[in-house]
Amino acid sequence: MKRLRDILLIYIPTGFLLLSLSLVLAYRWVPVKWTPLMLVRTIENSETEGYVNKQNWVCIDNVSPAVIEAILMAEDQRFFSHNGFDWIELAKMKGEHDKFGKPVRGCSTISQQVAKNCFTFGSRTWMRKAIEAYYTVLIETLWGKERILEVYLNVAETGRGLFGVESACQRFFGCPASDVTIDDAAALACVLPKPLTRTPSSVMNTHITKYRKLCREVENLLTESCTSLTMYKLDKQ
């Protein structure tokens, strides 16, 4: 019994801690070319002829500021100011439910999405959310904001069989992520919440209000030369 207790209380937690720290530290520098979600999609489409996951890793410096700002505006406006968890947005969401009592929208930050996509499996359970929160704290501590954003831009699901903004831009717009226009960047950002059912061309009709708002906001930021990433880098100096 003592042996079993030691295994359950000491060896397994210690092993998990060491493995998770090693993986997070490795991904601080190594491109994340595989994620659990990619494996899930491969299994789901195992009988689909010709299906393949496509990801083209790209350095954050080679991503258009329009893409970065559109995604930050759409997914996590307080990304550079929170610690991985947006408590302000969470408080707002608590009062927003549909007729079945379910939240009408999610409030996961980009950091939480990276933690979920890179390190967790499974459905939305409390155990998975706890593991996601643990990895969120780790990457916020060991990676920093710029690296978290870079990984997100490369592992986020952006379409059927597409992961990352580079593969999406090449597929939908016929150009690299560095050359995307403001309009196309806004359309791509609108796809992210539901990448399996939306495309950049469809959201221009089905989500026209959000699309136009993103276009205006991104254009204003770029015109004023005060992008979120630029301001963050200046603050760190």
**pLDDT at site 6:** 53
Percent of the chain with pLDDT over 90: 68
pLDDT at 50: 85
Give the total residue count for the chain: 237
- Give tens-digit pLDDT for 5-15: 655 556 677 77
Chain segment 38-83, per-residue pLDDT in tens: 999 999 998 888 899 999 999 999 999 999 999 999 999 999 999 9
Distance between CA atoms of residues 11 and 51, nearest Å:
40
CB 104 within 8 A of CB 98: yes
Residue pair 171/53 in contact (Cβ under 8 Å)? The answer is: no
The reported pLDDT for the residue numbered 213 is: 94
More confident residue, 204 or 122: 204
- Residue 170, pLDDT > 70, answer yes
Cα 167 to chain centroid, rounded: 15
109-162 pLDDT per residue, tens: 999 999 999 999 867 788 889 999 999 999 999 999 999 999 999 999 999 999
**Short-list 64, 13, 73, 99, CA closest to 176:** 64
Most confident of 19-23, 169-173, 218-222: 169-173
Residue 97 pairs with which residues in a beta bridge?
103
**Domain 31-236 belongs to what topology?**
Penicillin binding protein transpeptidase fold (1.10.3810)
pLDDT at 105 over 60: no
What local confidence, expressed as pLDDT, does residue 100 receive? Answer: 46
Bigger pLDDT: 105 vs 120: 120
Q: Which residues, other chains included, contact 41 with Cβ-Cβ below 8 Å and sequence gap of 6+?
A: 53, 157, 161
Chain position carrying tokens 């995307």: 180
Q: Is the pLDDT of residue 205 over 50?
A: yes
> 182-191 and 65-75 are packed helices; what angle lies between their axes, rounded to 10 degrees?
40
Nearest residue to 112 (alpha-carbon basis) of 91, 94, 93, 87: 87
Burial 178-190 (b: 16+ CB within 10 A, else e): eebebbbbbbbbb
Is the pLDDT at 99 greater than 50, yes or no? no
Mean pLDDT, all residues of the chain: 88
Position 11 scores a pLDDT of: 66
Domain limits of the chain? 1-30, 31-236
Q: What is the pLDDT of residue 47?
A: 87
